[in-house]
Amino acid sequence: MFAYLPSSWMIALKKAGYWIWLIPVLGVPMSFHWSLGSAHADAWAYLVVTIVFGVIPILDAIVGRDPANPDEVADVPKMDKQGYYRLLSLATVPFLLGMLVWAGWAFVHYEAWSWVGRLGWVLSVGTVTGAIGITVAHEFIHKDPQLEQNAGGLLLAAVCYAGFKVEHVRGHHVHVSTPEDASSSRYGQSLYAFLPHAYKHNFLNAWALEKERLQRRGLPALHWRNELIWWYAISAGFLLGFTLAFGWMGALFFLGQSFVALTLLEIVNYVEHYGLHRRKQDNGRYERTNPSHSWNSNFLLTNLFLFHLQRHSDHHAYAKRRYQVLRHFDDSPQLPNGYAGMIVLALFPPLWRKVMDPKVRAYYAGEEHQLSESQLA
């Protein structure tokens, strides 16, 4: 749809378009408003999750791909320094936390919902705190300013997944697309085999990495300088606050949306690296990470919703690049739809393998030895 627009026009369009993140965040209270007095109140609770995973994949196909890459000389230096993009992402924090607290109140007090409706509410809120909250947190934890580091940690604490702040930067980005990385899915591995392994090992890896960091400073793991202790304490504070304000159901809501959000993150990890790997060199070390080690998805609509997270190939090659200047590479492995559609596909392993396995084999055409016999079977 936008393929023939000049790059400068697309960059200007996207500058305003990133505010699209407000739609799912505000969609939560709007769905509640529309359920008031409705004979189908339970159904309205599923509105956000239905649109994200039912409508967005179709719109991605209709709207099409994002044709614009910022020019490295003319655009990137200027865009990289513009505080507008940083303020735009920071604005998500109060909106998301405010929405989360209000949604907890609604979960407990709205009597028109049965447990079916309350389940839909948790799925919808968790989808927003995962898709928007964790995505923005991911942007922040890769940046140096302390304000962004703290904002990222706070958003992750709000979904009880503070370990991501440590493990993702110091673990995943070091070991991505190797057997040592619990967030890189293997060729032939189903989502349901991947998730338990990712939950367990990413949690443990975060603590091991923080223990290593402290030991290099001559400090024990259980020390006040262990940042995980502080972030998990904030998560405990959120849980206590929801419990005191809304009772046991408030605690259930907070933990439920956290689980949905962190699971959504790990499903995205599954999608982003499925079947891709870095080759081991003669010296026993893996080749340097480059744009061929992540699946890229350049669909415009979801690119805007997710702050260019789908340009994942460039992110892994240059992790500190800000979202507004991430680039698309045609020679990177390409997903056939945006992340929302691929997440739905991943939930059905036979369909996932039917679509994705041929793409992995095609990508390694002529290098089939890169895939083991057991994986090809």
Percent of the chain at pLDDT > 70 equals 96
Query: What is this structure's pTM?
Result: 0.93
Cβ neighbours of 179 (radius 10 Å): 11
What span, in angstroms and rounded, lies between the C-alpha atoms of 321 and 135?
Answer: 15
Backbone phi, psi, residue 56, to 5°: -60, -45
**Residue 134 pLDDT exceeds 70:** yes
Q: Which of 55, 20, 44, 39 is nearest to 124 (CA)?
A: 44
Give the pLDDT score at 291: 81
**Residue 333 pLDDT exceeds 80:** yes
The average confidence (pLDDT) of the chain is: 92
> Which pLDDT tens digit goes with each residue over 291-324?
888 899 999 999 999 999 999 888 988 889 999 9
Q: Using H for helix, E for strand and C for coil, what is the string for 151-174?
A: HHHHHHHCCCCCHHHHHHHHHHHH
> Which pLDDT tens digit goes with each residue over 81-120?
999 999 999 999 999 999 999 999 999 999 999 999 999 9
> Which pLDDT tens digit goes with each residue over 219-235?
998 899 999 999 999 99
Give the pLDDT score at 198: 95
Backbone phi, psi, residue 75, to 5°: -110, -45
DSSP secondary structure of 262-329 = HHHHHHHHHHHHTT--PPBPTTSPBPPP-GGGS-B--BHHHHHHTTTTT-HHHHHHSTTS-GGG----
3-state secondary structure of 69: coil
Instruction: Locate the domains of the chain by residue range.
Output: 7-376
Higher pLDDT, 193 or 2: 193
Give the pLDDT score at 370: 62
Q: Which of 48, 43, 41 is nearest to 112 (CA)?
A: 41
